[in-house]
Amino acid sequence: MAYWHGIYDTETYEAMRANNCTSAQSQECQNIINRIQGLASKLNIYDVYGKCYSNSGKNSMFELYESSSMGMTRVGNEIKAYKKTYTARDYTPFLYKNHPQGKILKEVPPCVYGTPIIEYFNSDVVRKLLHIPDKVQAFDFCTDKITYNIGQKGSQWVYTELQNKYRIIFFSGDTDGAVPTYGSLQWINLLNWEVKEPWRAYFVEGQVAGYIEERSGLTFATVHGAGHMAPQWKRPQTYHLIFNWLKNEKI
């Protein structure tokens, strides 16, 4: 995804292919991966063409910390923290340089417009209006206090179990670097479900809003020019997609 979106060069791409770096763990592959990580490190990985947001102060999205026996301490502009459980870092490892102790995020992923959201949901007024008990912890984007179990099976089997039992829609912002459209299409193709309506564009106000394909038991759609949080940045387009699908109307 990064190569075809112009984030790194052809020489690096060809070197990765020549060294079979999708499965190999050689030092040469590690050097290539480090180069790609360096080139992408200042991008908003959830929207590779979007803005990289930052804030000053304690909620800075580039603030990094080093772990100690009592917790975490700040060390310049780097995050170095011991990781006991799986966090967002494990699902987007390409965001981080290698570190023997691993790293965790503080409050929001790098470059994400998140601090105002954290402040909003942790407001006493908002918590009261949402009837959130005082015993419930503060809202946060990422945490290392939850244990996630990662298995080889993944979640693809869920779609097979749900086929012909429920209508399913899977949509993807096509500038999302964390869960790229290309990767989603790969596992959807592996389902080998019959294509009922071939790939086509859909439109909002006369402009291409994305592309859609109907399969047996699954609607797959892209939201053009949107990242991971498609409803946040492409509201009319995502609204059109979701609500027409819910009403079983033509998209």
Residue 29 confidence (pLDDT) above 60: yes
Report the pLDDT value the prediction gives residue 207, as an integer from 0 to 100. Answer: 97
- Average pLDDT estimate for 69-94: 39
What confidence tens digit (pLDDT) does each residue in 180-224 have? 999 999 999 999 999 999 999 999 999 999 999 999 999 999 999
Residue 149 confidence (pLDDT) above 50: yes
Report the pLDDT value the prediction gives residue 42, as an integer from 0 to 100. Answer: 86
Give the tokens for residue 170: 């899977």
150-to-86, 143, 159 alpha-carbon distances in Å: 8, 16, 18
- Average pLDDT estimate for 57-71: 35
Domain 156-246 fold: Rossmann fold (3.40.50)
pLDDT grade, residue 81 (50/70/90)?
very low
- Average pLDDT estimate for 75-101: 41
Q: Which residues contact 108 (CB under 8 A, 6 or more apart)?
A: 59, 61, 114, 115, 118, 141, 142
What confidence tens digit (pLDDT) does each residue in 99-119 have? 333 444 445 777 887 778 888
Residue 170 confidence (pLDDT) above 70: yes
Hey, where are the domains in the chain? 1-40, 49-149, 156-246
Report the pLDDT value the prediction gives residue 117, as an integer from 0 to 100. Answer: 84
Residue 55 confidence (pLDDT) above 80: no
Do the Cβ atoms of 96 and 90 come closer than 8 Å?
no
Residue 159 confidence (pLDDT) above 60: yes
